[in-house]
Chains A and B, each alone.
Chain A
Amino acid sequence: MPVPELFVTFYEVFMQTYKGFLEAGLLTIEITAIAVVIGTILGIIFALMKISHSKILQTIANLYITLIRGTPLIVQIMFLYFGITSIIVLENFWAGAIALGVHNGAYIAEIFRGSIQGIDRGQREASLALGMNRSQTMRRIVFPQALRRAIPPLGNQFIITLKDSSLVYVIGVSELFGVANRVAASNFKQFETFLVVGLYYLILVLIFTALLKWYENKLDVDK
Chain B
Amino acid sequence: MIKAENVHKSFGKLEVLKGIDMEVHPGEVVVLVGVSGSGKSTFLRCLNFLELTNEGVITIDGKRVNQKKDDLSKVRAEVGMVFQHFNLFPHKTVLENVMEAPIMVKKVAKSKAKTTALEILGKVGLSDKADVYPNKLSGGQKQRVAIARALAMEPKALLFDEPTSALDPELVGEVLQVMKDLADEGMTMVVVTHEMKFAKEVADRVIMLNEGVIIEDADPDTFFNHSTNERTRQFLEMVNV
Contact = CB atoms under 8 A, between A and B. Distances in A.
B1 to A, nearest CB: 17
A131 interface: yes
Interface residues of B, number: 28
Interface of B: 48, 50, 71-74, 76-78, 80-81, 83, 85, 87-91, 100-101, 104-105, 133, 135, 146, 149-150, 153
A66 interface: no
Contacts of B87: 120, 122-123, 125-126
Contact of A131 (B77, B91, B135): B77
Contacts of A136: 104-105
A213 interface: no
A130 B80 CA distance: 6
A148 interface: yes
Given A122-B83, A126-B87, A140-B104, A131 B149 contact: no
A129 B89 CA distance: 13
A155 B100 CA distance: 30
A144 B85 CA distance: 20
A131 B81 contact: no
A144 B91 contact: yes
A112 to B, nearest CB: 16
B83 A145 contact: no
A132 interface: yes
A128 B73 contact: yes
B83 A131 contact: no
List the 9 shortest-distance A-B pairs measured between CB atoms, nearest first.
Answer: A131-B77, A126-B87, A130-B101, A122-B87, A129-B81, A131-B105, A133-B73, A131-B76, A144-B91
Contact of B48 (A129, A144, A145): A129
Contact of B91 (A120, A122, A126, A223): A223
Contacts of A133: 71, 73
18 contacts: A126-B81, A126-B146, A128-B73, A128-B76, A129-B50, A130-B76, A130-B100, A131-B73, A131-B76, A131-B78, A132-B104, A132-B105, A136-B104, A136-B105, A141-B89, A145-B91, A223-B91, A223-B135
